[in-house]
A and B are shown apart, each in its own frame.
Chain A
Amino acid sequence: MSALGPMGRGLLGLLGTAVVLAMLGIFSEDLGLSQYLLVLVATILFWTTQATSWNLLSGFAGYFSFGQGAYVAVGAYSTAVLTGRHGVNFLYSIPVGAALGGLLALLIGMVAFRLRGLRGEIFALLTLAVPFILAAYARITDWVDGGQGTTIPLPNYPEWIADFQHLMFLLNLAVATLAVGLALGVHRSRLGRGLAAIHDAEDAAEVLGVPTFRYKMMAIVLGGVLGGAGGAIFALQIGFVAVESVFNLTIPLFVIIMSVLGGRTHWLGPVIGATLIVTLQDRLAAGGLSAWSAIIFGGLLALLVVAASDGLYSRVRANPWPTLGAGVGVAAVVLVTGTVETVTALLYGMLAATAVAIGAGLLRPARASAASASDASTMDDEALPRPTPVPASEGPLVACEGVSRYFGGVRALEDVSLTVDRGEIVGLVGANGSGKTTLVNLLCGAMRPTRGTIRIGGRPTAGTAAHRIAHAGVARTYQIPKPFASMTVHDNVAMAVMFGRDNARLPVARRVAARHLATVGLSRLADAYPSTLNLHQRQLLEMARAIAADPTVLLLDEALAGLSPAEIDDAVTVIRSIHDSGISIVIVEHLLRVVRGLATRVVVLDHGSVIADGEPAAVLSDPAVVAAYLGRQRA
């Protein structure tokens, strides 16, 4: 068991659970398990698939989607049209449904992720519109639905499956196992870490080398495939597919509640959420309280958003014994009294565990411990692979030729030409709004110039994604630090190594990261989370993360803003040692004493144009510069 990595163990455990469940299902009658229990678990499995598939993009990467119903519908209609209207065996309809779900996801992703403005609420609304438009289309298209719906004939199944409900159970089990297995695999993989980085700070991730577009596409397509497969099976379950039965707001609402309740950042979260919510709804219906279920779930969602938006999983993880103990205890006690059904007793147990988890979390917010210990102390330079150097090239490291950038009518940069050579520290100064940050954004590839060419290492950057520009040797920090909040300081830096030119694996990346943490002096805070750091430490983290990518040019965007004089001196020392290690620096800064002290060359921007470029002393006493930036009277 220990020879397998954590992912291997997890998958094996998952497979084992699946086998146990399958056996319980197939032999349920012999074991005396009621049909009803089979149906309940099958429903839980269906929702596990949906919640897990939703969570891949929306939980892991933070792109909340309201459109899960679209994938289910596409899958359901695959079965409806193929099996219902044309008699194709349902076993073929399921992969078709999955493929179409994936295709739909691909389309949505291609369109939504290409446009940078589409995040947050706008993305959510776009995904909300997709099922509506598909429903409208289905209604008016005769071969799909035409408003009349389609009955699905009873499927044929082999002898060893006792009856229809057993078939549904096994199908849902198969797809759910696939879904959870995929989520498990993604969670611990590069893709998973990349998605987490996208969730925390997408722009920072992109310039760090995470291929954000590709990763988001992978997440959304996987989600679409799983959702479609689940939907195809759903059609079999309901037996009659009509627009009203597959296109409703229940599906997106439920998957959101389940994942938010269970925990969005871990693959187990949706499973926990699905189990709890489905059981709760079942018991409410059994108790004749279904009119209340709407109020309860709506209220639950509202409450969760406010009180426990990170979900149950991390809280149970933080306090495993009290929560599980409360759960098992309450369930056992209620069972023994024999006053209610078994499932109700289990529900009470689950609710007790939930209450304890949320309560404990509120009383004693304990951070989930870091996944594995960092062995920062035992670094061994010989054992670390040498970082791949940037291919050497003639000429300047960075060159801008006639670069302009307009935002609508605003000319942020106008015809800027400058170069950065090896070994330089270029100070970039100018008043607020002179275009300094825009220039930094252009240089690292976060934006494209409206006109002109930018070359990194001699090669033009036009048409190159920002994460590849990062691999070409440009790194930057942000004026307002954008750390990955869900990772430790150590892992933040390790991300840069993982997604840098070397594509290192996590253990190696961690060891390399330790070295860079030492350079900026953050070693003792390696296991802390960014939210516990002060501004100075966060700026140092920005720098560590940037240099961990082994750049040739580091762009520091007002890295000293808001620091005290002592902190500034500390930061300057760090910057010098970074320079000494062979990295050229472009430092955007207002503090002239720092610029004078550090820079080998100063470039002055005024209203988007370069008005001076040369030796610090000469530039800073140039009358034009004085007039534009320093003011008429020297202080």
Chain B
Amino acid sequence: MRTKVLAVFVVAALAATTAACSKKDDGGTTSTPLVVGSTLSLTGAFAATGIIHKVAGEAFIARLNANGGLLGRQVEWKVLDDQSDTAKVGQLYEQLISQDKVDAILGPYATPNILATMAVAERHGLVLPHHTAVLAPQLTYKCQFPGWSIGPTPNQFIPNLLFDALATLPQPPKKIAVLTSQSGSAAFVTNGFGNDKTGLLTIAAQRGIEVVVNAPYPPTISDWGSIAAQVAGAKPDLVINNGLGVDTVNALTAMKQLGYRPPMTFSLFPAPGPLLGLGADSAGVLSVSIFEPNAPLISKAGADAQAIIDDYKSRATTAKIPYTAFETQAAASWNAWQILAASIKGAGKVDHKAMCDWLHANPVDTTFSGRLTFDASKNNFWAPTLGIKQIQNGQWVMVWPSDRAAGTLTGPTAS
């Protein structure tokens, strides 16, 4: 027993001394690269979208470095794979910050992961630009900066946006089916959050639209047959799927098996590629977007935009991503990077307090979303420029609001 105790003491002492002797020497000269650290879902459930952000980020950095980098330093991006596992995200960011001592960080993909990162960022006082968090009320850290145009109350904004757009149709939908994924952002849009119970359901009621099917489903659902049966039986004018990934694909497939095709369908945060893969069955499907590579929008975005879009496309093709168009996800990524770059340039140094203060005091000009201003009282969620997109002729086309549209919203297809 004594030997055991002694052994433990020895080990502890050994660990302490060797750790103390191993202090590494950091160089601090301006010729060293500026390292940005982040994680992305490169494997696992969210990988289809995670990879889009990886390519977008790499494209941005290449461009940035070609133009001299930041503060005269070349920028490097250290990306770790969080395997779509929220529990790993925090640890990995801790590692990036404490061990790898990155100069700055950028957020991961998907709301729950971003929230996990926010906790870490807050502890270390780092500025956290991120691209895809939707649960604005939960993002209370004042130095997190969203790149996704959703506004501080997406649970009101999105349903109103959708219904406003649909109201322009000759026969707006009167009966809707609402299928909601019980996870993070999707459930928020349907049901609200905490004390704020407004959401799709309450807004539909306000507008006199009848909810004939209200089916929340677990994100792990594998059999859509019963949901399909309910929807087919209720015959709504519009099926709203507040879901992620391939949920809408699965739902539409299951309905088709029953010989039913919804007159109109809306999908909240789909993985962009798979829906297009349904071919004719997905014609007319609606979703939200901050940007689509449609000609009018590209020209509005300025001279750089086309070059960026082409560069992204060639990189995506090389990386063998199924969907190579530069659209809403990539644009959000671009926004986040531009926010980060602007804050560093604006503060003149890598000092996160200065960067955070600069962002609160100054607007950031982005290529794809225009001028952004950050108001801490709104959790930094800037006035949204989100629009509705629709699948037309096998492509996603922005159709609403009209000042940012590249096409017109088309009504229900004959079923």
Q: Which residues of A are interface residues toward B (Cβ below 8 A)?
A: 1, 6, 9-10, 12-13, 16-17, 20-21, 24, 31-37, 39, 43, 85, 136, 139-140, 146-149, 151-154, 163-165, 237-240, 242-246, 248, 250, 282, 285-286, 288, 290-291, 320, 324, 328, 335, 341-342, 345-346
Contacts and interface: CB of A to CB of B under 8 A. Distances in A.
Given A20-B12, A242-B86, A245-B112, 13 more contacts: A13-B5, A37-B19, A140-B182, A152-B119, A153-B140, A154-B123, A238-B87, A240-B119, A242-B112, A242-B183, A244-B86, A245-B116, A291-B43
Contacts of B2: 1, 9
Contacts of B193: 148
A20 B9 contact: yes
A39 B83 contact: no
Given A17-B9, A147-B184, A10 B120 contact: no
Interface string B127-150: 000000001001010000000000
Contact of A342 (B19, B80, B95): B19
A132 to B, nearest CB: 10
B47 to A, nearest CB: 12
Nearest to A345: B18
Nearest to A151: B138
A184 to B, nearest CB: 11
A288 B39 CA distance: 12
Given A35-B98, A346-B15, A148 B188 contact: yes
B81 interface: yes
Listed residue (A149, A153, A324, A346) with the most chain B CB atoms within 10 angstroms of its CB: A149
B361 interface: no
A324 B4 CA distance: 12
A541 B313 CA distance: 78
Contacts of B80: 285, 288, 290
A31 B20 contact: yes
Contacts of B216: 140, 147
Contacts of A250: 85, 87
B12 A21 contact: yes
B185 to A, nearest CB: 8
Interface string B15-57: 1101111110000000000000000000100000000000000
Contact of B12 (A24, A239, A285, A342): A24
Given A9-B5, A33-B19, A148-B188, A237 B99 contact: no
B87 A10 contact: no
Contacts of B14: 328
Contacts of A16: 5, 9
A82 B90 CA distance: 21
Contacts of B12: 17, 20-21, 24
Nearest to B42: A291
Contacts of A242: 86, 112, 115, 183-184
A32 B116 contact: no
B99 A36 contact: yes
A9 B116 CA distance: 42
Contact of B8 (A13, A245, A286, A346): A13
A285 B187 contact: no
Contacts of A239: 90, 115-116, 118-120, 122-123
Listed residue (A6, A146, A239, A320) with the most chain B CB atoms within 10 angstroms of its CB: A239
B357 to A, nearest CB: 20
Contact of B1 (A6, A20, A240, A243): A6
A221 B15 CA distance: 35
A242 B205 CA distance: 29
A10 B1 contact: yes
Nearest to A271: B8
Contacts of B3: 320
A307 B94 CA distance: 36
Contacts of B168: none
Contacts of A248: 85, 87
A149 B115 CA distance: 9
Listed residue (A43, A147, A165, A328) with the most chain B CB atoms within 10 angstroms of its CB: A147
Interface string B77-104: 0001101011100111011001100000
Contacts of A345: 18
B183 A147 contact: yes
B89 to A, nearest CB: 8
A523 B14 CA distance: 46
Given A17-B12, A291-B81, A324 B112 contact: no
Nearest to B5: A13
B97 to A, nearest CB: 8
Contact of B86 (A17, A245, A286, A290): A245
Contact of B135 (A10, A136, A148, A246): A148
Contact of B98 (A13, A34, A246): A34
Contacts of B259: none
Nearest to B79: A288
Nearest to A17: B8
Nearest to B119: A239
Listed residue (A6, A13, A163) with the most chain B CB atoms within 10 angstroms of its CB: A13
14 contacts: A13-B4, A13-B5, A16-B5, A21-B12, A31-B16, A32-B19, A35-B99, A39-B91, A154-B122, A245-B87, A250-B87, A282-B95, A342-B21, A346-B18
Contacts of A165: 94, 98, 123
A164 to B, nearest CB: 4
Contact of B83 (A286, A288, A290, A320): A290
B88 to A, nearest CB: 8
B18 A342 contact: yes
Contacts of B98: 34-36, 39, 165
B218 interface: yes
Nearest to B122: A154
Q: Ordered nearest first, which 9 A-B pairs have the shortest CB separation?
A: A239-B119, A147-B182, A13-B5, A36-B99, A245-B86, A240-B115, A147-B187, A35-B98, A342-B22
A85 to B, nearest CB: 8
Contacts of B90: 237-240
Contacts of B183: 139, 147-148, 242-244
A335 B119 contact: no
A333 B188 CA distance: 56
Contacts of A237: 90
A147 B190 CA distance: 11
B278 interface: no
A58 to B, nearest CB: 22
Interface in B236-273: none
Nearest to A164: B123
A341 B112 contact: no
A88 to B, nearest CB: 16
A10 B21 CA distance: 31
Contacts of A290: 80-81, 83
A174 B167 CA distance: 61
Given A146-B191, A290-B80, A151 B119 contact: yes
B40 to A, nearest CB: 12
B229 interface: no
Interface in B125-180: 135, 138, 140
A149 B184 contact: yes
Nearest to B7: A324
A151 B187 contact: no
A24 B14 CA distance: 12
A139 B218 CA distance: 8
Contact of B123 (A9, A136, A163, A286): A163
B379 to A, nearest CB: 12
A151 B118 contact: yes
Nearest to A12: B5
B23 A32 contact: yes
Nearest to A8: B1
A290 B120 CA distance: 21
A163 B187 CA distance: 35
B16 A33 contact: yes
Contact of A9 (B1, B19, B112, B184): B1
A342 B95 CA distance: 16
A242 B14 CA distance: 39
